[in-house]
Amino acid sequence: MKIELYSIERVRTGKWDIEVTRAEDAITYRHEVREPVELRGFVETYYELPAEELALKILDHYLHAVAVKVTDWNYNGIYLIVEKEDE
């Protein structure tokens, strides 16, 4: 049997609400309730990018990200989901 484990991190900025789904190791992963400090720092570094570019940057460079959802801060405009293709 194959078990796939994913975690979700969310950050809210003045511009975007971002949700990142990350692949986790089913054997070593231990859940802990905490602020997603690393994701917030990553998003702040690339804050000025358009939503599509920010999502792709997260997907390509952030801690085993497999999917990224970006919405504008009031859920009125952009709704973007980017996922990695199966390798």
**pLDDT surpassing 90 at residue 79:** no
Q: Which of the two residues, 31 and 3, has the higher pLDDT score? A: 31
Q: What is the pLDDT of residue 87?
A: 58
29 close to 4: Cβ distance less than 8 angstroms: no
84 close to 59: Cβ distance less than 8 angstroms: yes
* Maximum alpha-carbon separation in the chain: 43
Please enumerate in sequence order all residues whose Cβ is within 8 A of that of 13, keeping only pairs 6 or more positions apart, or say none.
43, 44, 47, 73
Residue 75's nearest CA partner among 17, 20, 21 is 17
The predicted model gives 45-64 an average pLDDT of: 93
Query: What does the block give as tokens for 32?
Result: 């802990």
The predicted model gives 62-77 an average pLDDT of: 85
**pLDDT surpassing 80 at residue 24:** yes
Residue 31 belongs to what domain range?
A: 5-83
Structural domain count of the chain = 1
